[in-house]
Amino acid sequence: MLAALLYGREDLRLETVADPTPGAGEVVLQVAAATTCGTDLKVWRRGGHAKMLQLPTLFGHEVCGKIAAVGTGVSGWQIGDRVVANNSAPCMKCFFCQRQEYSLCPHLTWNNGTFAEFVKIPAAIVERNLWRVPDGLTEELAAMTEPLACVLHGIARSNFQPGNSVVIIGDGAIGLMFVAVLAQQSQEVYLFGGQDQRLQVGEQLGAAKTFNYRQLTDIPGTVRQLTSGWGADIVVEATGVPTVWEMAIACARPGATVNLFGGCPKDTTITVNTEQLHYSELTLKGVFHNTPTYVQNALALLASGSIPFDLLLSDRRPLKDLEQVFQEMLQRQVIKVPIDPSQG
């Protein structure tokens, strides 16, 4: 089969590799759609990811497909089932899993390789994080389940209350998903980003106001103007840039929660004013990945059709265009692109 492999920084190669065969407890999916992700873009640019993969590796992690082969011992699934497979599953046995903090499980089973004609799903994911796609939900939208699950996890960990003023910094797919879900929950959402077309998508998804940071000299000052001089109740950082983490903290009111959601490069640091942190009683919250419950909830939200997540998707592209797609993402010409491996 044809598959994308990542060898290093911006070193992505399409190669012919052996078709996968399922072992005990595993299944193999024929990939119908594999959506690109900001994390994929960062991994491609940085040449790796500290937790999710080791090079060289099959690449891609958002997928919807049909079961093409079933290993021994698999029950409840059969060839032809249309499914979403999350890219991880917790062990359910460790210190963190016993406390239902599944995203912190040190034994997470990771899986990559969705930019290929077929992808093998490990037994732990088959058992705990494989989900049937509801009728009527397109493969392209279903493939977005994993990032939306991360967003739902982030929202659940961020102390939201009805009527909060919320600042989202970052107009990528994750920032826009935060806007969409929070606006649906009647939160007053202000979106700050760097591209007018994406900000327009944010408005379509329910942002109360949008701002192009390139046209602002003082983002925290702008936030205070919007919030009676105090700052936002909740701030979500969705860029993964350390200086923006610091700016997000500066946008927060006393007593606020700042969700530092965007993953920064390895070994980077930020500076926090201890007086502000202490006397303003700030909560700085890092949130990573998702859990099986949020994966299930994300798939149900996509299937409900209550939010037009298709606004984030460009046209399907063949696998041979994958590196060009990453270049287009880097130039911010597209948000998410469904890759169709059947087109080669």
Query: What domains can you pick out in the chain, each with its CATH number?
Result: 2-146+289-343 (3.90.180.10), 158-286 (3.40.50.720)
Omega cis (within 30) before 56: yes
Residue 87 has a CB neighbour count (10 Å cut-off) of: 26
- Both tokens of 293, joined, read 């419950």
What is the pLDDT at residue 54? 81
What is the pLDDT at residue 48? 74
The C-alpha atoms of residue 58 and residue 93 are separated, in whole angstroms, by 28
306 burial level (CB within 10 Å; 0-12, 13-18, 19+) = exposed
Containing H/E element for 44?
helix 38-46
Q: What is the pTM of this model?
A: 0.96
**Are 300 and 138 in contact, with CB atoms under 8 Å apart?**
no
3-class DSSP state of 260: strand
**Confidence check: pLDDT of 52 > 90:** no
- Both tokens of 258, joined, read 């700042």
Q: Kindly state the average pLDDT of the residues 202-211.
A: 98
**Are 267 and 50 in contact, with CB atoms under 8 Å apart?**
no
What is the pLDDT at residue 344? 59
What is the pLDDT at residue 31? 98
Reported as a single tens digit per residue, the pLDDT across 109-143 is 999 999 999 999 999 999 999 999 999 999 999 99
Reported as a single tens digit per residue, the pLDDT across 159-177 is 999 899 999 999 999 999 9
The C-alpha atoms of residue 326 and residue 192 are separated, in whole angstroms, by 23
Residues 6+ apart with CB under 8 A from 186: 162, 163
What is the pLDDT at residue 343? 73
**Confidence check: pLDDT of 209 > 80:** yes
Question: What's the longest Cα–Cα distance across the chain?
Answer: 62
